[in-house]
Amino acid sequence: MGLSNLLPCLSLAALLVALPDAARSEVIAQGEPGFGDCDAFFYQQTPPEGLGDLPKVAKICQKYRHQPHFATLYSTQDRIPIYSAFKYQEGTQCCPEEASWMVEPQIDDQKNGLAGMMPEAEVADSVNNLGTNQALTSDYVDSGYEAGQLNPSFLQKDDHQLATHSLTNSFPVKPPLQDVWHWEIENLVSRALAPHCENGKDLYLISGAIPSSHKVNDKVSIPESLWLAACCDDGSNTWSMGFIKQAAAEKRLEDLSLEELEKKLPEGTRLFKNNCGQDRHDPKKLEPVGKSVKKIKAEKPALQSKKSLPMPHQAPKEEECGFMKKLFYFVITPICRLLTFAIYMVVQIVKFIFYIFSTLLHMLITGLCTFLKTIASVLMHVFTSLIHVLVNIMNGLARNIYRVLMVIYRIVCVPLNLLVDILSFPFYVLGAVPALLHDIARGVSGLFMLLINGITNFVRCLSWLVTHIAKSILPHMST
């Protein structure tokens, strides 16, 4: 009897030691964008717009065994989920005995150090104010309502299926409505939506509940209506579809467009980014989906009640505890809590010391790297400056040598040019004699020709004069 009460305590303590990182909350802090590790369950990793602005809501990345399984926007005011975003997986039959209703400790007690969903029975005595902001199984006792799943377990498998048994994924529902809702959602997704979207590979699903003013045990809101939105994007084409259902068993799911569904939700709601890639919508892709939906809606729901997890009033009565058992429990429980707290504090202190050590080591390494980098930079600068000085010295020396050689050249060139001119003078003189003789001959011949031309012109002039005189005299003589 003692071991049975002590083992859970020791197991929890061992878990805190083995998994110190588990102290991180899976409830996303207010003001932080997205849903952390659960953004992958949203189309283009973008949560819906508008619904997150509702009062008193908490964003939960639903984790089980430290793995993300779906995302939930939970109303701490109505204690039901506003929506759950998930991906379809071909479900398998879940064994109720392997699952139990789980809660999210961080919603009620952010300092408890427990991460992710945990069975309510295991944390009932270790979480302060449990049930202040979320529903518990005791809220359904003798109410006539059961806990329905917004993200249905039969659309999941393995740990994803077990993770849906969280009270932050549940809402109050009458058994007839639950049977119809489960049958419709299961058949619509598995037979109409997923087969036309790579068997759910590219299918993004968001199921939601619209809370009403009616509450179970004056605590948990009863949904006014339930809805489902689907977005398929295969990379080239997209299609989308919406469904809504009034909270009555005889009401069937109504299919409508994504825009029409958003108009029935709070103003400003946008369920998928860019309206599920509206610019790439392909009506032809949507036609077979619509036909499959109409075919399923024409069928009569097979009201074979899904096996649900037992609520407290359904569980078999345990044997009454004896006085010694109760006394032992009241003695061991504080010791367990004290031991758990002590181990938790030791872990936190070790983590703090490790953080300080790692910070100092990081600062030391950073400072050393900066020092070495600065030294290397200075040495490189000195080396480059030295090379630059040597190059300038060699350049100046070369210029001076060039100038000296030019002066020597000019000095040597003066007598050399004079000597060359003196030696070449006779050759210049001899070379000029033929030209001179030629010029003299041309001058003499020119003078001779001038003399001949003068005599000729004189004779011609004299001849003309004689002839003119003779002509002027002879006619008078003949008369």
Tell me how crowded residue 351 is: count the other CB atoms within 10 A of its CB: 13
Half-sphere exposure of 164 (CA within 13 A, CB side): 29
Residue-wise pLDDT tens digits, 10-56: 444 444 333 333 334 478 877 788 898 899 999 999 999 988 777 88
Per-residue HEC secondary structure of 142-157 comes to CCCCEEEECCCHHHCC
CA gap 98, 67 in Å, rounded: 18
Residue 241, Cβ neighbours under 10 Å: how many? 22
pTM: 0.61
Q: What would the pLDDT profile of 262-292 be if each residue is shown by its tens digit?
A: 999 998 999 999 999 888 998 888 999 999 9
pLDDT above 90 (res 208) = yes
Q: What does the pLDDT average to over 153-175? A: 88
HSE (side-chain half, CA atoms, 13 Å) at 211: 24
Mean predicted confidence (pLDDT) in 84-101: 71
Using DSSP's 3-state secondary structure scheme, residue 303 falls into coil
The pair of structure tokens assigned to 20 is 């110190």
Of 39-48, 55-64, 418-427, the poorest mean pLDDT is in 418-427
**Averaged pLDDT for residues 142-169:** 88
Q: Which class is domain 22-313? A: alpha beta
**pLDDT confidence band for 177 (50 / 70 / 90):** confident
What's residue 410's pLDDT? 80
Domain ranges of the chain: 22-313
Highest mean pLDDT among 107-116, 120-129, 183-192, 334-343: 183-192
**Candidate from 58-62, 290-294, 439-443 with smallest mean pLDDT:** 439-443
**Average pLDDT along the chain:** 82
Distance CA 336, CA 9 (A): 5
Measured CA distances, 381 to 19, 373, 378, 388, 401 (Å): 51, 12, 5, 10, 30
**In the block, residue with structure tokens 């108009």:** 263
**Range 366-373 average pLDDT:** 90
